[in-house]
Structure 1
Amino acid sequence: MKRNSLLGKFLSFSVGNWLVLIIGLISSPIITRIIEPVEYGKFGMFNLYASILTLIITCGLDQSYVRFFYEEDEVNRNKLLFDSIKIPLILNILISIIIIIFKVPISNYVISEYNPNFIILLLLNITLASISRFSLLTVRMKQKGRLYSMLQVMQKLSYLMSIALFFMIYNNSFLTLAYATLISNAVIAGISIFTERDSWNFKNIKDKKLKNSELDILKYGIPLIFTVLVTWLFQSADKMAIKAFYGDYEVGIYSSANSIIAILNILQTSFATFWIPVAFEKYEKAPEDTKFFSNINDIVSFLMFGIGIGIILFKDVIVLILGPKYRTASYIMPFLVFMPVLYTMSEVSVGGINFKKKPKYHIVIASIACLFNVIGNSILVPTLGAKGAGISTGLAYIVFYYARTLISRKLYKVDYSIGRTTVAILAISILALYTSFMEFSIITVIIGIIVILIVLFLYRNTIKSMKDMIFKDKNKDIRR
């Protein structure tokens, strides 16, 4: 696969995410200033459970759709979509019925009060989010980067415009953000389905035969249900522990720190969106070319470590955009940086599990990380509050990265330079630990410089190859 082709695909997918990042930098300080920490905490819990329910509804079949997409002929991919989405749609109905039956205790547990609007919003959001999950995957797998970028920007803009509209109705209530989320999900689902309406045309699919049967799709996806359930606990342990010991206010502070990290998640999403279809396509065409995956791993690791260090060092400046009520979020951020950094890196190193169709290992990985996070939160949150949740979550993602990488490497032999990565993670962990408890000082600068030098030394060959790659491409352009 040509470098220029790869770079072009990445840029087409990432341009929208960069625009979303800019919009996010502008909108985050506005949102945290108009929404009180307690209400922001309620929205954080709403968003958490809506996301978890969406994961349960899709039950791994979205990953089956991705895995078998390139194995099927283009004319049959609408049948693959239908076979992949029909069970999630049925599950969505069943879960909605359960939510309606137990609406009072569910509302009281999640937002500490019964609110019928909350139940309606939850039902509509999980439905639209589940559908948009498949509609966006269709765009991604067809590698339509410009369209995907446009959808990302439209989703963010519709979210912000909806906040302005619903703020006039609900003021600083969490409902303002919840309704805005609903509208943005509806916009992205509607537009992505319309633009790819041929893929959503399920007429005359009965006569089509797939290379992979419905049983194959289920066998690949169903084991991921257990992964989803464990992931539910993994992703919610921090907020649940904070809510249990400190209430919605502390959840709001923690969620505000996550909102900053979510901006960094845009880089993660941008890379994953581009990488997943490219990786599967590359493996199908040339599975013996492991050097390709090794090189990408080195480049991604160096760049993500650099971004992570920068966020930690400038966290006190970054957190100023949240407003005075959320300043303590700066001490929560350092270890949360490991979430997007290591998850992005593991998107490359996890390839062997997906290529070899071994989804059962995702259960093992999620279980290990989940157990670590639950124990960590139970120990650290009672004494350190949201800061303890941040430390526990960051360490759990380190465990998550190693579990993904080591298991994947056994299935598909790729040199992921684990020794070098370990030294970099240890160095950054020391910086994160210091800045979680100490104010910015000359010692922070000294530790930061040492960590930067360590990472530069570890990845000196990667830097050289990146430089050679850039100048080689520039020279080619000049000769043309």
Structure 2
Amino acid sequence: MTPKQIAAFAIGPIGGAVLGLISLPIITWFFSQEDVGRLAMLQVTLGFSILLFSLGLDQSYVREFHEAEDKPALLKRAMLPGLLLLLITLLVLLSLGGKLAGWLFDVPAWHLSVLVAVALVASYLSRFLSLVLRMNERGLAFSMSQLLPKLLMLAIIGGYVAVGADKDLTNLVLANTAAIAFVCVIYGWNTRAEWLAGIRTKLDVDQLKSMLRFGLPLIMGGLAFWGLTAIDKVFLRTLASFEELGVYSVAVSFAAAASILQSVFSTVWAPTVYKWASAGAGLENVHKVSRYILALVVLGFALAGLLSWVVTFFLPANYAAVQWIVVSCIGYPLLYTLSETTVVGIGISRRSSFSMLAAISAFAVNLLGNWWLIPHFGAAGAAVSTCVSFWVFFFLRTEFSIYLWNPMPRLALYAFTLIAVAGAVVFTLWGGALKGWMVGYWLVVLTAWAVFFRGEVVEVVGFVRRRIA
């Protein structure tokens, strides 16, 4: 993939993170805290349904794409079984009236159930159609399809404000569903040649069985990672309240700024590291990149701890707790990105079961953490549990990679990340009472960072100067 193609694919994740950072805080000014929490439950449900109903065939599609002679037929085999299963499930749920909306929102309204069903179908279709764009390396079309729905969501909310529409749950879900359906239509138009040709092909049952044998086992690992990233919201819905879930969702949206690093790095890293490994130069370069990413991770935690109060200027007063929670929320994107630099041994050795084991173990930690902390600390407990779980995830991926591939220096990795995570935990749970002490803590961390990573800082500054000159 050329740098131009990488840039085209990166526009979507980066722009999506930026727009997500803007959109949810705007929503908090016009919709109730409970409805913001209910919207988070919709997002959790969309992610879970795509993972479950795809049957792992989305992964099979990616695996078989370059070897398949009839790519439209491959798309049909991958998309059709899960789509039929999803439609049947939704018809059964809709026949129960407003049960679906009742389970998600505590509002058993049939029209809300219909909107949720439309969003589920559109999200499922978008998942597979987006893969067509990705595998054909149509990066700009892929990115635009990610950006447009978020822009539409903001436009609809703006329209509500302009015409004085009711700021209720129905209009909020309607705006979200309209945006999701819109992206599905865009994906459908951009891939029309592929899926129209696929409709006319015959379904090869034997090849479908082969794809299912590859894809179905992957669901377990996918469910574990989904649980690692989403179970906190489910526990908040069950053990706390929609208000706490709303606060937590807003904190996560601000923390999504750190996901820009994750998105850009993940786009470039995988093809690069395997190229290094094939040339026999992987280990030294991996160590160097890992150290740079560690520097960014520690810097991210320290700056978030020192500057989190800034978010209060963009939110209503009832979201004041976000300034404490957001520091733990950045643990997911930052620690996940760091683990991508240390996990390469699992990919090179082709022992993906170890990645699944790391995800399942961290998921178990998150389950216990949420069960223990949320009843006492609410949204703050959920943030802490997820942050600690991702440190466990990072630790296990690193150790498994070393076991399967080559040793790597990790004292600095573990020491700095533990210091950062410990600080985030204390800051989130007791930061309001320890304000001055926490400022001192993060300043000490920042000072230690400047001393330990001075070589990397000098190298980066020199590189920038050469580029500017």
The question of a shared fold, defined as TM-score above 0.5 by the shorter chain, is answered with yes
1:118 aligns with 2:79: no
Give aligned-pair identity as a percent.
24
Residues 142 and 424 (structure 1 numbering): CA distance in 2 closer, same or farther, change over 3 Å? farther
CA deviation after TM superposition for structure 1 residue 422, in Å: 0.9
Q: Is the 8 A contact 2:50 2:124 kept in 1?
A: yes
Structure 2 counterparts to residues 45-444 of structure 1, below 5 A: 45-69=41-65, 71-72=66-67, 76-102=70-96, 104-165=98-159, 171-200=166-195, 201-202=197-198, 214=208, 217-276=211-270, 278=271, 282=275, 286=279, 289-354=282-347, 357-413=350-406, 415=408, 417-436=409-428, 437-439=430-432, 441-444=435-438
Q: In 2, Cα distance between the equivalents of 1:184 and 1:392?
A: 31
Q: In 1, Cα distance between the equivalents of 2:135 and 2:295?
A: 26
Q: Is the 8 A contact 1:320 1:327 kept in 2?
A: no
Choose 307-316 or 350-359, whichever is displaced more: 350-359
**Coordinate RMSD, CA, aligned:** 3.4
Residues 372 and 193 (structure 1 numbering): CA distance in 2 closer, same or farther, change over 3 Å? same
Q: In 2, Cα distance between the equivalents of 1:438 and 1:38?
A: 25
Q: In 2, Cα distance between the equivalents of 1:371 and 1:298?
A: 29
Q: In 2, Cα distance between the equivalents of 1:26 and 1:382?
A: 30
Q: Is the 8 A contact 1:223 1:360 kept in 2?
A: no
CA deviation after TM superposition for structure 1 residue 87, in Å: 3.0
Q: In 2, Cα distance between the equivalents of 1:97 and 1:204?
A: 26
For these two proteins, the number of residue pairs brought into alignment is: 464
Q: In 2, Cα distance between the equivalents of 1:157 and 1:22?
A: 11
Q: Is the 8 A contact 2:13 2:143 kept in 1?
A: yes
Q: In 2, Cα distance between the equivalents of 1:403 and 1:218?
A: 29
Q: In 1, Cα distance between the equivalents of 2:160 and 2:315?
A: 21
Cα deviation, 1:203-240, whole Å, max 9, x if unaligned, reads 776699xxx96555333321122234434543443223
CA deviation after TM superposition for structure 1 residue 91, in Å: 2.9
Cα deviation, 1:185-208, whole Å, max 9, x if unaligned, reads 222222234324444332776699
Q: In 2, Cα distance between the equivalents of 1:187 and 1:414?
A: 48
TM-score normalised to structure 1 length: 0.84
Choose 395-404 or 132-141, whichever is displaced more: 132-141
Q: In 2, Cα distance between the equivalents of 1:463 and 1:67?
A: 40
Q: Is the 8 A contact 1:9 1:274 kept in 2?
A: no
Question: Which of 450, 461, 465 is matched with 2:444 structurally?
Answer: 450
Q: In 1, Cα distance between the equivalents of 2:294 and 2:124?
A: 31
TM-score normalised to structure 2 length: 0.85
Q: In 1, Cα distance between the equivalents of 2:137 and 2:298?
A: 27
CA deviation after TM superposition for structure 1 residue 144, in Å: 3.7
Choose 392-401 or 162-171, whichever is displaced more: 162-171
In structure 1, the gaps of 5 or more residues are none
Residues 334 and 51 (structure 1 numbering): CA distance in 2 closer, same or farther, change over 3 Å? same
Cα deviation, 1:31-59, whole Å, max 9, x if unaligned, reads 11001111112212222222212221123
Q: Is the 8 A contact 1:166 1:180 kept in 2?
A: no
Q: In 1, Cα distance between the equivalents of 2:406 and 2:57?
A: 27
Cα deviation, 1:410-432, whole Å, max 9, x if unaligned, reads 444474x4322211211212331
CA deviation after TM superposition for structure 1 residue 274, in Å: 4.7
